[in-house]
C-alpha cells in the first residue's frame, strides 16, 4: 500500500517548492502531476504529446487515464518510499473518480495539504518565476485560474468534508510556510 499526501493549491501557491523541501527533509517522494505530464509530452514516441500540449496551453485538465497511469508507474518505480507527495492532483472530478477507480486498495490518502494563497499574488509569482513554461503567460494563467476556481476548489471542499484537509497559508516566506508544513506532518503522518 502506498501512503499518499495530495498537495493542492492555486497555480503559483508554492506546491513544487514546498514539496522539494519535504522530500529533502522528511523522506517523502515528490511526484508532480504537471511535471510528469510535461515529461510525457517530450517523450519520443508518446502518443499523447499533442493532447497534453493542448491541455497545458489551455489550462484545462488532461484525461485521468493518462495522468493516473503516469503517477502509478512513478510510484511503482520508486522502491519502498515511506510516502508520496502527489502534487497538483486530483485537479477535477474526472481526476478524483479515475484515482478512486484505479488506486483504491493500492494507495492510502493520509491527508490533503492545501497551500492557500490569494490568486492575484499567485498570478504575479507565475509571471515572475521565469521557468520558461508555455503556460506562465497572462492568457494561459487566466484559464488556469478559472480551472482552479471552478474545478479544483470543489475537490478541496470535498476532501474538507471528509476531514482530510490541512490548510497552510502560503502568502509568506518559504521558511514560514515550511515550518507549518512540518507541524502538519508531525501531527498527521507520524514521520
Ligand atoms: O501543476 P502544474 O501547474 O504544473 O500543471 C500544469 C498543467 O498541467 C495544468 O494547467 C494542466 O493543464 C496539466 N495538469 C493536468 N492534470 C493534473 C495536473 C496538471 O492536466 N492533474
Ligand atoms: Mg508545480
Strand order in the sheet with 2-8: 29-32, 84-87, 2-8, 107-116, 165-169
Structural domain tally of the chain?
Answer: 1
Ligand 1 neighbour 41 (Cβ under 6 A) = no
Position 16 scores a pLDDT of 96
Q: Which protein residue has the closest C-alpha to ligand 1 atom 8?
A: 34
* Domain, as residue range, for 143: 2-186
Residue 59 in any domain: the answer is: yes
pLDDT at 66: 98
CATH code assigned at 130: 3.40.50.300
Say yes or no: CB of residue 36 within 6 Å of ligand 1.
Answer: no
Q: Is residue 147 part of a domain?
A: yes
pLDDT of residue 146: 97
Contacts of 185 (CB under 8 A, 6+ apart): 22, 26, 191
Answer yes or no: are the C-beta atoms of 33 and 67 closer than 8 Å: yes
The pLDDT value given to residue 131: 86
pLDDT at 191 (0 to 100): 46
Q: What is the pLDDT of residue 79?
A: 83
d(CA 10, CA 13): 5
User: Does the beta carbon of 111 lie inside 6 Å of ligand 1?
Assistant: no
Q: What is the pLDDT of residue 53?
A: 95
68 vs 190 pLDDT, higher one? 68
The rounded distance, in Å, linking the Cα atoms of 42 and 171 is: 32
Nearest alpha carbon, ligand 1 atom 19: 34
Checking if the pLDDT of 168 tops 50, the result is: yes
CB of 30 closer than 6 A to ligand 1? Answer: no
Nearest to 35 by CA among 80, 85, 99, 93: 85
Residue at 133 is within a domain: yes
Given a cut of 80, whether residue 190 has pLDDT beyond it is no
Three cell numbers, residue 133: 513554461
Q: Of ligand 1's atoms, which has the minimum distance to the CA of residue 144?
A: 10
Indicate yes or no: pTM above 0.85. Answer: yes
Give the distance (Å) from ligand 1 centre to CA of residue 36.
Answer: 9
Closest CA relative to residue 150, chosen from 10, 1, 6: 10
Q: Does any domain span residue 76?
A: yes
Q: What tens digit of pLDDT does each residue of 43-99 get? A: 999 999 999 999 999 999 999 999 999 999 999 999 878 999 999 999 999 999 999
The Cα 134–Cα 162 span in angstroms is 35
120-151 per-position pLDDT tens digit: 999 999 999 888 889 999 999 999 999 999 99
pLDDT digits (tens, 9 = 90+) for 23-49: 999 999 999 999 999 999 999 999 999
Q: How far apart are CA 128 and CA 185, in angstroms?
A: 30
pLDDT of residue 189: 58
191 lies in a domain?
A: no
Nearest CA to ligand 1 atom 4: 34
Amino acid at each position: 500500500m502506498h501512503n499518499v499526501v495530495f498537495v493542492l493549491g492555486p497555480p503559483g501557491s508554492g506546491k513544487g517548492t514546498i514539496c522539494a523541501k519535504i522530500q529533502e527533509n522528511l523522506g517523502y517522494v515528490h511526484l508532480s502531476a504537471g511535471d510528469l505530464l510535461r515529461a510525457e509530452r517530450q517523450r519520443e514516441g508518446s502518443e499523447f504529446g499533442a493532447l497534453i500540449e493542448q491541455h497545458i496551453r489551455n489550462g484545462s485538465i488532461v484525461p485521468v487515464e493518462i495522468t493516473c497511469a503516469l503517477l502509478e508507474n512513478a510510484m511503482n518505480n520508486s522502491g519502498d518510499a515511506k510516502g508520496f507527495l502527489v502534487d497538483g492532483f486530483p485537479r477535477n472530478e474526472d481526476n478524483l473518480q479515475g484515482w478512486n477507480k484505479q488506486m483504491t486498495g493500492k494507495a492510502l490518502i493520509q491527508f490533503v495539504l492545501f497551500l492557500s494563497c490569494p490568486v492575484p499574488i499567485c498570478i504575479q509569482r507565475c509571471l515572475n518565476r521565469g521557468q520558461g513554461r508555455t503556460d506562465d503567460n497572462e492568457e494561459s494563467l487566466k484559464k488556469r485560474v478559472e480551472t482552479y476556481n471552478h474545478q479544483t476548489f470543489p475537490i478541496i471542499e470535498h476532501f474538507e468534508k471528509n476531514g482530510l484537509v490541512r490548510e497552510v497559508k502560503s502568502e509568506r516566506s518559504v521558511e514560514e510556510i515550511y515550518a507549518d508544513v512540518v507541524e502538519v506532518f508531525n501531527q498527521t503522518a507520524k514521520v
